[in-house]
Chain A
Amino acid sequence: MTMTVHVDIVSAEKEIFSGLAEMVFAPAELGEVGISPRHAPLISRLKPGEVRVKGTDKEIFSFYVSGGMLEIQPHLITILADTAIRAKDIDEAAAIEAKARAEEALADKSGKIDYAVAQAQLQEAVMQLRTLDRLRKRGG
């Protein structure tokens, strides 16, 4: 019997593959790696590319990953795939955007307070009208 290793490929949003394999190929950061069962423990980043899993019946499954992490234990290979292409400057831009959104919305809060004040005033006016109405009915 040939040796096999358990492979899990997951992304943050769903599970992609889980099963036994004879060999796994992945685009590690320092070049493509082929992993056989009982490989030494290794952790590496992945580049965008193709992950190929050679299943137990010689079938080859192929998945595209846009980067991620590869963890190897002697009897377990885990691939954590990213859901989108990530780069330092893209992350940076996202962070700046999040900050800007908070500041912008905070600056906009004056408008919200006005809205609340207006609502309170409207409420008051309605109550006054209703009281007037009641007084008129009683009088008439």
Chain B
Amino acid sequence: MAVGKEIRSKIGSIKNTQKITRAMEMVAASKMRKTKDRMLATRPYSKKIGQIIKHLAQANPEYKHSFLVERQVKRVGIIVISSDRGLCGGLNSNLFRKTLSQIIQWDNANIEVDVCTIGTKAFGFFGNLKANLVGHVSKLGDTPHQHDIIGIIKVMLDAYADGKIDELHVVSNEFVNTMTQKPTVEKLLPVVAGELDENLNGHWDYIYEPDAKEVLDHLLTRYIESIVYQGLVENNACEQAARMVAMKSASDNAGNIISELQLIYNKARQAAITQEISEIVAGAAAV
């Protein structure tokens, strides 16, 4: 019977879409588990280095590093961490909205902004915005390594050391739980030590080998790198979680549309049969 051919082909095509979204959901779910493990694996390092920085802030080094000194802000640098791929709900657009509102605030205070981007999405967005892009890295995959991001951090740290920028911030998504990802702006430079440890008070200092300047230089660079790296792996976990949720709702929606179309199809089919029967009956009565 030729009834509702269009409806049937439509149902078929939506079913195919549903298959794809369901597959993507499952892939994202398994990747999320892995990226979450990786996120947890980086925590000890950033915790440890944070502690050392705190100890340092309490020690009395004879040398004051420029990364620890606040100055008047005329120009800031931001590192924006985004995903490489789309289809992950509002993850990236929420992040960009947050970044933009921050940039507008700076703009109102006559502060200029330099941008470094991680991930193609951020690059596309800030490139179109004609922001002042100074560094970019993307396509780091699901297992990013720390040495992948050394370059762009060095660009920013050099700019800070040369006095070209007076503050450095990093924007990335924070993994709250599978359903919630929170875009956050974190200040990296000048380094804020956080609250102090009571046990270590008193007048003391480290023995520095080879000397305070080199050690501090090295340590603060590593500290910044570890925060950005942590942001990167966290953003990866966020991406997979957001994709999983987005694809789940897409599959559900496809299911709804299919059942609605099926209902319409059945009604049309029934109407056609009824009509045919009544035509036959009418014909028989006429004979």
Contact residues of A with B, CB < 8 Å?
8, 10-15, 18, 28-30, 40-45, 69, 71, 73, 78, 80, 82-84, 86, 91-92, 94-99, 101-102, 105-106, 109, 112
Contact = CB atoms under 8 A, between A and B. Distances in A.
16 contacts: A8-B44, A12-B46, A12-B146, A12-B226, A13-B45, A13-B146, A14-B41, A29-B209, A29-B210, A43-B209, A73-B55, A84-B147, A94-B151, A98-B135, A101-B135, A102-B135
A10 B116 CA distance: 28
B127 interface: yes
B42 A102 contact: no
Interface string B171-187: 00000000000000000
B136 to A, nearest CB: 4
User: Contact residue range for chain B?
Assistant: 35 or more
Nearest to A81: B45
A43 B216 CA distance: 9
B155 A98 contact: yes
A92 B153 CA distance: 11
A68 to B, nearest CB: 8
B135 A83 contact: no
B196 interface: no
Given A96-B151, A101-B135, 7 more contacts: A11-B45, A12-B46, A45-B209, A83-B147, A92-B154, A99-B135, A106-B127
B155 A41 contact: no
Interface string B37-62: 01001101110110110011001000
Contacts of B222: 69, 80, 82
Interface string B112-154: 0000110000011001000001111100000001110011101
A41 B127 contact: no
Given A29-B209, A101-B137, A105-B136, A12 B42 contact: yes
Interface in B180-202: none
Among A11, A40, A45, chain B packs the most CB atoms within 10 A around the CB of: A45
Given A10-B48, A29-B210, A15 B151 contact: no
Contacts of A13: 38, 41-42, 45, 145-146
A78 B134 contact: no
A5 to B, nearest CB: 15
A94 B44 contact: no
B46 to A, nearest CB: 8
B80 to A, nearest CB: 12
A94 B219 contact: no
B207 A41 contact: yes
B39 to A, nearest CB: 11
B134 A102 contact: yes
A41 B135 contact: no
Nearest to A79: B48
A54 to B, nearest CB: 21
Nearest to A113: B128
A11 to B, nearest CB: 6
A41 B59 contact: yes
A64 B155 CA distance: 29
A25 to B, nearest CB: 15
Contacts of B226: 12
Contacts of A73: 55
B218 interface: yes
B63 interface: no
Give the residue among B45, B59, B133, B204 with the most A Cβ atoms within 10 A: B45
Given A69-B222, A92-B154, A106-B127, A98 B137 contact: yes
